[in-house]
Amino acid sequence: MRALIWDLGGTLVDTYPDVDRALAEALRAEPDQELLHEVAVLTRRSSSEAITELAARHEVPEARLRAAYEATKEQWARRPPPLKDGAREVLAAVRERGGLNLVATHRDRESAAALLDSLGLEVDDMVCAPDGHPRKPAPDMVLSLLARHELTAGECLAVGDRPADVEAARAAGVEGVLLETPGIPLEAPGARRIHSLRDLIPML
């Protein structure tokens, strides 16, 4: 394997707890576990779609939820979210095997770069949807990384925490692996599933 293509938020970096709590608190000052779970189920599909859906369900302005989401990203500049368990080990294992760590993310480049810098992470390349790529499950970001690094699909593996990550990889001919979130059911027919990033090491 010559490259591992990472999703960023929720896969490489554990962003969900902060995002889920920020959105839940924008709905209710003291959210209970039921509300946090409702938010979590939606954000695992798409944060942007979750905001729209939550605003409609709870009859609150969508702008309030988007502001809470943006404030969370600003907070990360001072107090970044943690890496997902096992992330540093897998990044190192890819490098030790002479492979590339590549990132395909929906996050804007400034925010994504700031997140990586705040955690002291170095990756070999990154493509961001706001740079002009359609969002996953479109395969364009994955195809861009393959072209930039003269990789064939069979030389790569992709990992993400959402079905759209797996679908984007598959549409580009790359095997996609789904990192499961405990308690959040996700449909990804035929995809290999892992419970820990460390499960990737034997696949490299």
Choosing from 7, 20, 161, 165, which is the catalytic residue? 7
Residues 6+ apart with CB under 8 A from 91: 101, 121, 123
Q: Please, are residues 164 and 191 in contact by the beta-carbon 8 Å criterion? A: no
* 161 catalytic per annotation: no
Residues 6+ apart with CB under 8 A from 115: 8, 9, 13, 15, 76, 80, 81, 107
DSSP summary character for residue 19: H
Give first-to-last CA distance, the chain, whole Å. Answer: 6
Q: Please, are residues 145 and 132 in contact by the beta-carbon 8 Å criterion? A: no
DSSP string across 81-126: PPBPTTHHHHHHHHHHTT-EEEEEESS-HHHHHHHHHHTT---SEE
| Dihedral sign (CA 129, 134, 137, 141) | negative
DSSP summary character for residue 155: G
Q: Please, are residues 171 and 139 in contact by the beta-carbon 8 Å criterion? A: yes
- Catalytic residues, which ones? 7
